[in-house]
Amino acid sequence: MSRKAVFDTCNRKNRDIEIHLSGLTGEKQITRGKNYTYSEFSKILNMPMPNDILLLKLTGAPHSVILVKNKFLKEGFGIFDPNGYTVRIETTNELETDFDFMLLANKGDSRDIDTYTEQIFDSVSPMRPLNRGNDTVNPGYCGIFGIIFMTYFRHTKTIKNWHVPWSSFINKIWEPFYRDTKSDSPALLLASDVQLIISRNSNMKNAELQILEKIREYFIKHGIKFPSGSLKRPRSEFGKKKYNNRSYTVHIGPRGGRYINVKGTKKYI
């Protein structure tokens, strides 16, 4: 199947895993082009976030970014935008910052709106767009990149400086193999692999663990060390399963497979 065909079959599943990862069924609407005061954005930061994640849906053209709260980020929060936060000026070939909305620092903070906004986005967003290319290579992977980020965040957020290797990673994989909208990139290959994982799973926890393994695989492939200690999985249980007329607890294996313990022996089911 083409990437578009796989993507088109996963509208519901993509939303299901977003809900699973964020712990929320809704999104917060953000006004495109608005300069948010410190007080205004603080109210958003104080909204309930069970997993320290909140999807922000921009008004106008469909697009969402992801807000995360974390003690290891300098400002205590960051915003992930798969479209990047810079554009290249054709006449000068230089990069210029470009934000869908901006944030004002608190009173008494000497940073201007451009500097403060850039620092918030730069902590977890790529400079250049991961989400690029025509429909052949990118049928609509904006949300998939968000799923990739949320998965990584959930499993590394307790590790000091987790965002440093993430930043190195996304600023390395964005670049297309050649300068053409039809060109693939490492980022698009990862998104395609993740979409396939989602399409093949009905259990969102299984999908999450398989996506995590895929992200780790791409880190290694591109020479970036994955944060240590992040792959210790909690023991997960999915109720009881009958085997030889006896009830057993179902566990999740390292690749997302389900197994039970029978007299000390793992049996995958």
Task: Kindly state the greatest CA–CA separation across the chain.
Answer: 74
Q: What pLDDT was estimated at residue 75?
A: 96
pLDDT per residue rounded down to tens, the chain (269 residues): 899 999 999 999 999 999 999 999 999 999 999 999 999 999 999 999 999 999 999 999 889 999 999 999 999 999 999 999 999 898 888 999 999 999 999 999 999 999 999 999 999 999 999 999 999 999 999 999 999 999 999 999 999 999 999 999 999 999 999 988 889 999 999 999 999 999 999 999 999 999 999 999 999 999 999 998 644 444 444 444 444 556 656 665 544 455 566 665 656 55
Q: For residues 87-109, b (16+ Cβ closer than 10 Å) or e, as one string?
A: eeeeeeeeeebebbbbbbbeeee
Q: Where are the chain's structural domains?
A: 3-221, 237-268
Q: For residues 216 and 224, is the Cβ–Cβ distance under 8 A?
A: no
Q: What pLDDT was estimated at residue 61?
A: 87
Cα-trace Rg, the chain: 20
Q: For residues 260 and 269, is the Cβ–Cβ distance under 8 A?
A: yes
> What distance in Å separates the CA atoms of residue 191 and residue 200, rounded to the nearest whole number?
14
> What distance in Å separates the CA atoms of residue 86 and residue 146, rounded to the nearest whole number?
18
> What distance in Å separates the CA atoms of residue 164 and residue 181, rounded to the nearest whole number?
29
Q: What pLDDT was estimated at residue 228?
A: 82
DSSP-assigned states of every residue in 174-233? -S-SSSSTT---HHHHHHHHHHHHHHT-S-HHHHHHHHHHHHHHHHHHTT-PPPTTTT-P
Q: What pLDDT was estimated at residue 109?
A: 95
Q: What pLDDT was estimated at residue 90?
A: 85
